[in-house]
Amino acid sequence: MSKYDIIVLGSGPGGYVTAIRASQLGFKTAIVEKENLGGVCLNWGCIPTKALLKSAQVFEYLKHAEDYGLNVKEAKHDFDAVVKRSRGVADGMSKGVQFLMKKNKIDVINGFGKLKPGKKVEVDGTEYSADNIIIATGARSRELPSLPQDGEKVIGYREAMSLKKQPKKMIVVGSGAIGVEFAYFYNSMGTEVTIVEFLPNVVPVEDEDVSKQLERSFKKSGINIMTSAEVTKVDTSGKGVKATVKTSKGEEVLEADIILSAVGIKTNIENIGLEDVGIVVDRDKIIVNDFYQTNIPGYYAIGDVTPGQALAHVASAEGILCVEKIAGMHVESLDYGNIPGCTYCSPEIASVGLTEKQAKEKGLDIKVGKFPFSASGKASAGGNKDGFVKVIFDAKYGEWLGCHMIGAGVTDMIAEAVLGRKLETTGHEVLKAVHPHPTMSEAVMEAVADAYDEVIHL
């Protein structure tokens, strides 16, 4: 039986990052993967979707070339080529992880791993043992009883990335990050898209001002949006699919070629041996302490299978903390209140910390500042004036409570707020930090100036 210091189960951005950090710390490490290295994120999630969205963005630019004084005759797209490019990007990233495994001398064990008592993992009949086993098996598309996926007419995100034929009409159920990203992509490609959202606002975890702005931008782009609406029944017996949608006005039947179910995720914790080992699970999540130790010594869990936010960067951070703690290093537990969230539709969305509503519900005395990109020179020059930056500060101490952005490229701007909050910066310190002009990022400074009644360009 092969013996390791650490075995990681799953090779997504949680698993492979964990394995690399473990190897850097001198642990003899192995990683178990049943499909492709990189997991869902690199192969069927974060990376290939961004490739699709980039193609959509370029196509949008071509369609609006005249706005920039350019003449492009009849811009067309090749749907198959767009999908092929996306798959090529994913394949390249997966190969990159293979290289990293080799570089860091990590053994890759291909196959389905199952936990065994006594700190062992069985992979397709062969047993391996380790002093520490880290579960990083991730999650998949969640299915609703009223919306069973058949992989053809009712699909999840995985099929949405590699359709052989572009649908003329699509219904997207759910308006979280996955739903709105695919809604933007397919709408940009020319598909007639309808979003059905159960809650009153699209992207419901975001600040309400952001939600309202995205709804305006999407409607301007021709996307039909139904909020406070629920798909109660689907009929796939005909050529396409019919969805019965219940709203406050009654029931309505929508027809489309395909329904994309984007109603959240389901953790991959079935049949991996949790019950055999005695690891405690609550509501589809493995229960862990601040450093990802389960109730059974020697078994840890990180990423989507645990109660934290189901985000790639969270899984990576958790994995690094987990192995550093195993190595006896002095580490701080992760601050889940300072995790940035990013959505890559157009306009992009990025946020961290409390929304205005959450801050008020906590009874905090706050200062709120907002700066629209319509007043930004860089946004005007780039032709991307939709959106704004919104900041929330504690009125007494100047603590940066939250930052919410919607607009072009804001996912690359949010780190300023994350770092500022980590360093416990105040509103006045942000205001006095000189921001370069003309940039989109100076909208952060301008929003802070608005909060303190010192805004210049508004």
Read off the pLDDT of residues 315-351 as tens digits, 9 standing for 90 and up: 999 999 999 999 999 999 999 999 999 999 999 999 9
Asked if residue 80 is part of any domain, the answer here is yes
CATH number of residue 420's parent domain:
3.30.390.30
Residue 384 lies in a domain: yes
| 199 and 132 in a common domain | no
How high does pLDDT run on average in the chain? 95
* DSSP line for 220-263: HTT-EEE-S-EEEEEE-SSSSEEEEEEETTEEEEEEESEEEE-S
What pLDDT, on the 0 to 100 scale, is given for residue 40? 84
SS3 state at 183: helix
Check pLDDT > 90 for residue 458.
Answer: no
pLDDT tier, 306 (very low <50, low <70, confident <90, very high otherwise): very high
The pTM of the full predicted model, rounded to 2 decimals, is 0.94
Average pLDDT over residues 174-201: 96
Last residue of a domain, one of 213, 232, 263: 263
Strand partners, 231: 245
Confidence band of 1 (pLDDT split at 50, 70, 90): low
Are residues 248 and 286 both part of a single domain?
Answer: no
233 and 276 inside one domain = no
Assess whether 133 and 272 both reside in one domain: yes
Residue 456, in any domain of the structure: no
Is pLDDT of 181 > 80?
yes
Domain for residue 407, yes or no? Answer: yes
Q: Which residues contact 309 (CB under 8 A, 6 or more apart)?
A: 336, 339, 341
By mean pLDDT, which of 141-150, 162-171, 418-427 is the weakest? 141-150
Same domain for 410 and 305, yes or no, is: no
Looking at the structure, do residues 109 and 162 belong to the same domain, yes or no? no
Closest among 3, 273, 288, 277 to 127, alpha carbons compared: 3
**Share of residues in the chain with pLDDT > 70 (%):** 100
Residue 57: count other Cβ atoms within 10 Å of its Cβ.
16
Annotated catalytic residues are 437
pLDDT bracket for residue 42 (50, 70, 90): confident
Order of strands across the sheet that contains 169-173: 154-155, 258-261, 169-173, 192-196, 224-226
In this structure, are 135 and 248 located in the same domain? Answer: no
The domain tally of the chain equals 3
Answer with the one of 316, 336, 356 that is the final residue of a domain: 336
pLDDT tens readout for residues 12-40? 999 999 999 999 999 999 999 998 898 88
Rounded to 10 deg, the angle between the 15-24 and 79-103 helix axes is 20
pLDDT score of 44: 83
Residue 59 covered by a domain:
yes
* Radius of gyration for the chain, computed over Cα atoms and rounded to the nearest angstrom: 23
Is residue 186 domain-shared with residue 132, that is, in the same domain?
no
Residue 201 DSSP class: S
Among the candidates 216, 243, 263, a domain finishes at 263
User: What is the rounded average pLDDT of the residues 85-100?
Assistant: 93
Residue (of 124, 121, 126) closest to 9 by Cα position: 121
Q: Which residues contact 230 (CB under 8 A, 6 or more apart)?
A: 196, 198, 245, 246, 247
Q: Do 308 and 208 lie in a common domain?
A: no
- Regarding whether 132 and 14 lie in a shared domain, the answer is yes
pLDDT, tens digit, 9 for 90 and up, residues 224-253: 999 999 999 999 998 999 999 999 889 999
Give domain status of residue 215, yes or no: yes
**Shared domain check, 286 and 235:** no
Task: Specify the CATH number for the domain of residue 166.
Answer: 3.50.50.60
**Is there a domain that residue 148 lies in?**
no
Average pLDDT over residues 139-157: 91
| Residues 284, 352 within the same domain | no
Other residues' Cβ atoms within 10 Å of the Cβ of residue 363: 6
Asked whether the beta carbons of 409 and 440 are under 8 A apart, the reply is yes
Residue 35 lies in a domain: yes
Rounded Cα distance between 195 and 178, Å, is 12
- For residues 181-185, give the mean pLDDT: 97
Q: Which residue intervals of 114-176 are DSSP H helices?
A: 157-160
Domain range holding 304? 2-141+266-336
